[in-house]
Amino acid sequence: MIPLICLAPLQGITDRIYRNLFSFYFKGVDSAVAPFISPSKKMKPDNPQLLELDPDRNTGIPVIPQIMTSNPDDFTALANVLYDMGYGTVNWNIGCPFRMVVKKGRGAGMLCYPDRIESFLGKTMPVLKPKLSIKLRTGLKHSDEALHLIPLFNRFDLDELIIHPRTAVQMYEGDVDLDMFERCLNLSEHGVVYNGDIYSIDDFNALAGRFPQVKSWMIGRGLIGNPFLAENIKFNTEKTRNEKIKIIRDFHDDLFDEYSKILSGPAHITNKMKEIWAYMAGFFANAEKIRKKINKTHHRDTYIDVVNKIFDELV
Ligand SMILES: Cc1cc2nc3c(=O)[nH]c(=O)nc-3n(C[C@H](O)[C@H](O)[C@H](O)COP(=O)(O)O)c2cc1C
């Protein structure tokens, strides 16, 4: 069985430009959940968050938009607009671990309130036009909070659950709790997507061996750091190192050109590229040295020189 691979949402990285170019240069990714958008009171069609999701401008990887809010009416209104734009499925984010989000009872701030989640789903599901998928962590502070949620999810007609088996307190570090993931998987009557810390074929094979029921895998940092990972997993192909470096260089240059068109000040474009390099440098053996060199650049011309030198030295 060929696994399905979904590009994880990384706010600030996996935006429309990134996703479109990614699918041009790299194979093996079947879908992408877009970074979350939050509903605002009046979302006109020219709202930048909606324009970012315009299907005519998202022609690479099939996209599932993601919404983060604790308000069922706001959620439904935005999800139904997205449906009218052409999206058959939307994703609800109840995993975001950031303090400000959690404090407002959104994202992972909902995980320890099954009653709020039940009420949210009770209000949204009857009036929601698109199918609903949910992305969650196993808990806010305690890894077993999701165990109270799965039976509740089972009562609703959901598309799938994407589970990142960490608590919000862990942020993105520390061990993933595979035993808890397994318990959630066994309890769930919906399809479950595994997400977290897949950086290599060995990581993938170990997880796929342990969880044969899982058909779909979401990968974030592992794919940004090694964009060939999905094609390696699926097709077991390996390009030469120099072929890969050339592809990454072309990908980088296109990203730089596309972002340069929309980002005005010289610091904006270098800051944007630094965010990407924070993960992308992971591909190279001397990642830390590369990050340091790039982080020292503050002007686009210096940035271009430094990056060209880095790539020239790699081959
Ligand atoms: C910089 C950054 C931004 C993220 N933004 C989002 C987001 O917008 N929505 C979301 O559901 N998860 C977000 N995540 C979490 C990832 O989608 C993913 O669940 C997490 O990184 C674990 O998967 P990985 O180990 O494959 O990266 C973000 C993670 C990072 C590091």
Domain final position from 207, 235, 263: 235
Task: Report the pLDDT value the prediction gives residue 236, as an integer from 0 to 100.
Answer: 84
The DSSP call for residue 228 is T
Same structural domain, 16 and 146: yes
Q: What is the pLDDT of residue 299?
A: 92
pLDDT of residue 210: 98
Whether the Cβ atoms of residue 231 and residue 23 lie closer than 8 Å to each other: no
CA of 196 to the centre of ligand 1 (A): 9
Closest of 189, 139, 203 to residue 161, by C-alpha: 189
pLDDT recorded at residue 120: 98
pLDDT score, position 126: 98
For residues 39 and 161, state if they share a domain: yes
Tell whether 41 and 155 lie within a shared domain. Answer: yes
Are 200 and 253 found together in one domain? no
With a 6 Å cutoff on the Cβ, whether 183 touches ligand 1 is no
Are 71 and 104 spatial neighbours (Cβ–Cβ below 8 Å)?
no
Residues 265 and 229 in one domain: no
Please state the atom number of ligand 1 nearest to the C-alpha of residue 93: 11
Ligand 1: residue of 5, 6, 7, 10 to mutate (most ligand atoms within 8 A of CB) is: 10
Specify whether 108 is located in the same domain as 198.
yes
* 92: nearest Cα among 64, 112, 119: 64
CB count within 10 Å of CB 40 equals 12
Ligand 1 site, residue 195, Cβ cutoff 6 A: yes
Mutate to test the pocket of ligand 1, among 11, 167, 173 (most ligand atoms within 8 A of CB): 11
Alpha-carbon distance of 87 to 129, in angstroms, equals: 10
* Cα 182 from Cα 191, distance rounded (Å): 13
**Do 195 and 137 meet the contact criterion of CB atoms below 8 Å apart?**
no
Where does residue 298 fall: left (phi above 0), alpha (psi -120 to 50 degrees), or beta otherwise? alpha
232-283 residue pLDDT tens: 999 988 899 999 999 999 999 999 999 999 998 878 999 999 999 999 999 9
* CATH number, domain containing residue 42: 3.20.20.70
Dihedral of alpha carbons 248, 249, 252, 258, sign: negative
d(CA 42, CA 64): 22
User: Do 207 and 255 fall into the same domain?
Assistant: no
Query: Would you state the pLDDT for residue 38?
Result: 95
Among 212, 235, 258, residue at a domain's last position: 235
- Check residue 45 and give its pLDDT: 78
Strand partners, 161: 134, 192
pLDDT in tens, the chain (315 residues): 899 999 999 999 999 999 999 999 999 999 999 999 999 877 887 899 999 999 999 999 999 999 999 999 999 999 999 999 999 999 999 999 999 999 999 999 999 999 999 999 999 999 999 999 999 999 999 999 999 999 999 999 999 999 999 999 999 999 999 999 999 999 999 999 999 999 999 999 999 999 999 999 999 999 999 999 999 999 988 899 999 999 999 999 999 999 999 998 878 999 999 999 999 999 999 999 999 999 999 999 999 999 999 999 998
Question: Do 75 and 168 reside in the same domain of the chain?
Answer: yes
Angstrom distance (rounded) from CA 24 to CA 60: 7
227 and 297 share one domain: no
- Of 63, 61, 62, which is closest to residue 24 (Cα–Cα)? 61
Same domain, 220 and 297: no
| Same domain, yes or no: 167 and 34 | yes
Q: What is the pLDDT of residue 283?
A: 94
Same domain, 16 and 132: yes
Domain edge (last residue) among 220, 235, 250: 235
**What ligand 1 atom has the least distance to the C-alpha of 91?**
11
Task: Please name which of 172, 173, 176 lies closest in space to residue 146, comparing C-alpha atoms.
Answer: 176
- Number of domain units in the chain: 2
Look at residues 95, 96, 23 and name the one whose alpha carbon lies nearest to residue 63.
Answer: 23
43: containing domain: 4-235
Per residue in 151-175, pLDDT tens? 999 999 999 999 999 999 999 999 9
